[in-house]
Structure 1
Amino acid sequence: MSFKTIVAIIQSKDDAERVLDCALPLAARYDSHLIGVHAEALPVAYTSAVGFPDTEFLQTTAELNKERADALQAMFRGRLRGAGLSFEWRSLESFSGDSAHSGISSARCADLVIAAQRNPHAESTATADVDALLFESGRPVLIVPHAGPAHDGSFRRVLLAWNGSREAARAAFDALPLMLEAEHTEVFVIDPPEDVEQDAEASGAEIATALSRHGVNVSVVAESSRGRSVDHILQARIAGTDTDLLVLGAYSHSWLRQLLFGGITRTVLQSMPVATFMSR
């Protein structure tokens, strides 16, 4: 398996370069068709003092939206020009103006979606709602951090957060092409079962064996939480092992999932310091 169709979600100039710095090398390695998706908000029809739609405001807003979209399209095409890649640009409009929401239909027909992590310091319209992609597209999403050095899509050390769940299994096999290229993949288990032989699935032993059959250089490491949160444990492990890609199952927002494991999903979407590959 490889990623033959990649969708790059481009919300604004704040995230465009960072997303493409990762998307273009991946598309080149896998000979992929790269689709850039951007959405602008439909102008809201404000009324004038006499009760009629403010047509001047609508026209000005529409012109500004077109100017933004055209600038992003020019940047996208400029980056692809001469790269020898198959590509296309999709300019969309929606009431929200969120490229992630608008790009869900495109994402559902892709092998991989790449989007930027939400920047908490940017304007609310400058970053896309990656949650929508994770929970509505049905496709794996590679989330590029909003801070730190740009990533070229090559991952040397991968950490697979494993708890034996359906979501973790989906993420593991969706990320297999990246694991095969990595120098090493670590299956990281938090609070493993006491009897490993009776619960090899949750312990990480069975998934490690399955990945190794594909040719992945893999090992299993287990750690006790001792009252610490999952996101803090993962971030510490990432820092301690020089991990540059986290592979993780994305968990739904139900109270039970959040109680068991789902809080890490929020951390990834907001502040995880490395690129994160998520599926559900």
Structure 2
Amino acid sequence: MPFKTIVAIIQSERDVSRVLDVAIPFADRHESHLIGVHAEALAMPYTTAVGFPDTEFIQANADLCKERAEKVQKAFLSRIETSGVSFEWRSFESFSGDSALSGVESARCADIVIVAQASPDAKDSVAADIDSLIYEAGRPVLVVPHAAPLISTFRRILIAWNGSREATRAAFDALPFIIEADATEILVIDPVETAAQSMDAAGAEIASAFARHGAKVSVSVQESRGHTVDAVIHNKVVETGADLLVMGAYSHSWIREFLFGGVTRNVLQAGDTAILLSR
């Protein structure tokens, strides 16, 4: 089940190398078509102090956006034209200038989307809205970490499993990675005993499903013991040396997580491993 269409969200010139270092080898291995997406903000109707359109400022801003878009496109093409990978480039203008938002429609027709996590010390005026991309695209989103080595073949995978619809979607979206991996561990935190499944058997059925595909799978059941779920996941990533974390996104309301925080948002901010998220 190879990924034949990949959308790469390129928010800034800095993103080109981080995203393509992962996307190009991945596309080459799967013989994929790689679509680069970048957006710039539309020129806003600024006015002078007396209420007249500030044409000089508007033109200068438009020229700056055009120059930035050309630099990003040039950097993208210089990396990919010699790779032998099938590709295309899509450039957009929008009020937000957000490449993730502008790339949603392209993402909906892709097998997977790759986007770089924003670095905490980034100077870009607009960071890609990864939250909205995950929530709206309906496709798996591979988030490239801002502070970890960049790889395209994942050897140790950790799946955060709670049996939810979102976790199920993410786990099966990750199946091509899981089949390739040397080891996949299914992490179940604070399992709830039900009429259909005991606490001791949590994660066993999904592990069996992946094993039938030839994947090397194990199950780990842990109690949070007063720690947050994202802290338990982070500790397990460090403990196992996982190079890919797979989890369902926004099991709770996206607005709730945006306002009050949540597992998805906290994990996205960690930046220490690649993350595959689906909803």
Q: Kindly provide the CA deviation profile for residues 45-88 of structure 1, in whole angstroms up to 9, marking residues without a partner as x.
A: 11124432111112111111111111111111111112111100
User: Where do residues 169-188 of structure 1 align in structure 2 (5 Å cutoff)?
Assistant: 169-188=168-187
Does residue 216 (structure 1) correspond to residue 215 (structure 2)? The answer is yes
- What amino acid does structure 2 have at the position aligned with 1:13? E
In 2, Cα distance between equivalents of 1:201 and 1:92: 51
Q: Secondary structure at the match of 2:29?
A: helix
In 2, Cα distance between equivalents of 1:207 and 1:196: 17
- What amino acid does structure 2 have at the position aligned with 1:57? F
Contact 1:38-1:91 within 8 A present in 2 as well: yes
| Larger CA deviation: 86-95 vs 200-209 | 200-209
Describe the shift of the 1:196–1:206 C-alpha distance in structure 2 as closer, same or farther (beyond 3 A).
farther
In 2, Cα distance between equivalents of 1:49 and 1:142: 46
Give 1:272 deviation, angstroms: 3.8
- What amino acid does structure 2 have at the position aligned with 1:183? D
Count how many residue pairs are aligned between Structure 1 and Structure 2.
Answer: 276
Contact 1:163-1:202 within 8 A present in 2 as well: no
Contact 2:9-2:114 within 8 A present in 1 as well: yes
Q: Secondary structure at the match of 1:233?
A: helix
Q: Which residue of 1 aligns with 2:135?
A: 135
In 1, Cα distance between equivalents of 2:216 and 2:252: 33
Q: Kindly provide the CA deviation profile for residues 208-258 of structure 1, in whole angstroms up to 9, marking residues without a partner as x.
A: 000111111101111111111111111111111110000000015529986
In 2, Cα distance between equivalents of 1:76 and 1:196: 53
In 2, Cα distance between equivalents of 1:275 and 1:46: 40
Give 1:197 deviation, angstroms: 6.9
Q: Which residue of 2 aligns with 1:29?
A: 29
- What amino acid does structure 2 have at the position aligned with 1:177? P
Q: For structure 2, which runs of at least 5 residues remain unmatched after alignment?
A: none
In 2, Cα distance between equivalents of 1:182 and 1:196: 33
Does residue 88 (structure 1) correspond to residue 95 (structure 2)? The answer is no
Q: Secondary structure at the match of 1:53?
A: coil
In 2, Cα distance between equivalents of 1:256 and 1:62: 33
Describe the shift of the 1:21–1:205 C-alpha distance in structure 2 as closer, same or farther (beyond 3 A).
same
User: Where do residues 243-258 of structure 1 align in structure 2 (5 Å cutoff)?
Assistant: 243-254=242-253
Q: For structure 1, which runs of at least 5 residues remain unmatched after alignment?
A: none
Give 1:15 deviation, angstroms: 2.1
What is the aligned-residue identity percentage? 61
TM-score, length-scaled by structure 2: 0.93
In 2, Cα distance between equivalents of 1:87 and 1:278: 24
Q: Which residue of 1 aligns with 2:226?
A: 227
Describe the shift of the 1:203–1:113 C-alpha distance in structure 2 as closer, same or farther (beyond 3 A).
same
Contact 2:148-2:271 within 8 A present in 1 as well: no
RMSD: 2.1
Give 1:127 deviation, angstroms: 2.5
Q: Which residue of 1 aligns with 2:120?
A: 120
In 2, Cα distance between equivalents of 1:75 and 1:173: 34
Does residue 13 (structure 1) correspond to residue 5 (structure 2)? The answer is no
| Larger CA deviation: 118-127 vs 16-25 | 118-127
Describe the shift of the 1:122–1:4 C-alpha distance in structure 2 as closer, same or farther (beyond 3 A).
same
Contact 2:22-2:152 within 8 A present in 1 as well: yes
In 2, Cα distance between equivalents of 1:97 and 1:237: 36
Runs (4+) off by over 3 Å: 193-197, 199-202, 255-258
In 1, Cα distance between equivalents of 2:270 and 2:152: 19
Q: Kindly provide the CA deviation profile for residues 74-122 of structure 1, in whole angstroms up to 9, marking residues without a partner as x.
A: 1111111121111001110000001001111111111000011122222
Q: Secondary structure at the match of 1:155?
A: coil
Q: Secondary structure at the match of 2:114?
A: strand
Q: Secondary structure at the match of 1:100?
A: helix
Give 1:196 deviation, angstroms: 9.5
In 1, Cα distance between equivalents of 2:256 and 2:212: 31
TM-score, length-scaled by structure 1: 0.93
In 1, Cα distance between equivalents of 2:266 and 2:168: 20
Q: Which residue of 1 aligns with 2:68?
A: 68
